[in-house]
Structure 1
Amino acid sequence: MHKSIIVIFLSLMATSAAAQETLTKRSDFLNAVAANILEIKLLRLQLKVLDNGKITGKAFGRDVTGAWEWTNGFFCRSMTWGDRELENNCQQVVKDGKSLIFISDKGTGRSATFSLRPTTQ
């Protein structure tokens, strides 16, 4: 039941409309995620995107691991949630205040919005 919901959110990533900024440079993306946890509270999902190309975190009590790279203006990642493999997907990233919106399939697919929560609170 919750498994399909979390898979949808993990396999995608975000949308909105206000003072949004599409991130096209790796350095801008790293500035946005540095010292922050990406969080979707409803799904008990917390991810840390590290500058060394790794992704770590938890969702519904299961480990999330993965790898990412910045390619042609897109966040390209592959991840594992528990024992479930999530295929590689390149995503458009939009900054909206204190949130990041990840839009799958280079900005043409589904989206998920993650709050940016400082790692030290």
Structure 2
Amino acid sequence: MKHLVLCAALATAASPALADSYVPIKDQATFLSLVNGKELRNRLYGVRVSVFDNGAIQGAALGWGITGSWSWQDGYFCREMNWGGDPIPYNCQLVEARGDQQVRFTVDRGNGQSASFRIQ
């Protein structure tokens, strides 16, 4: 059950990313300049996560810790994580930004569900 809640939290929209005020991020340097060491928050689901330039992911959701690792591959953020002991499988995601205040991740290289986060 816990895994299903996090999946919902990390995929807040049930449709592929739409063309709106979000702009795709295609390179690792731009991605890191936006999020490195900052906290990404989705208040609706209580998700707080940070992505670091050393390839680490750390945070929490609904009281359980999140850890993981990531790399940048062919223009996509590829990660695997663990949430409170439950693995979250490897997936490469399209990353888009709305200015320097919001970032959106869309699973399956932009073909799946999306989750938006406020950058703190």
Query: Could you state the TM-score of these two structures normalised by the residue count of structure 1?
Result: 0.86
The percentage of counterpart residues that share the same residue type is 34
What's the offset of the Cα at 1:36?
A: 1.7
Q: Give the count of matched residue pairs.
A: 116
Q: Distance in 2 between matches of 1:17 and 1:75?
A: 19
Gaps of 5+ in 2: none
1:8-54 deviations in whole A, cap 9, x for unaligned?
Answer: 333x5874654321000000000110342010112111001000000
Pick the aligned partner of 1:30 from 20, 29, 32: 32
* Aligned ranges 1:101-120 → 2 under 5 Å: 101-117=104-120
Q: Distance in 2 between matches of 1:101 and 1:70?
A: 16
**Are residue 6 (structure 1) and residue 6 (structure 2) matched?**
yes
Distance of aligned partners of 1:27 and 1:13 in 2 relative to their CA distance in 1, 3 Å threshold: farther
Query: Could you state the TM-score of these two structures normalised by the residue count of structure 2?
Result: 0.87
What residue number does 2:85 align with? 83
What's the offset of the Cα at 1:3?
A: 4.9
The code of the aligned residue for 1:76 comes to C
Q: Distance in 1 between matches of 2:91 and 2:28?
A: 16
Contact 1:13 1:91 in 2 (8 A): no
- Stretches (4+) displaced over 6 A: none
What residue number does 2:48 align with? 46
Gaps of 5+ in 1: none
RMSD of aligned Cα (Å):
1.9
* Aligned ranges 1:94-105 → 2 under 5 Å: 94-97=96-99, 98-105=101-108
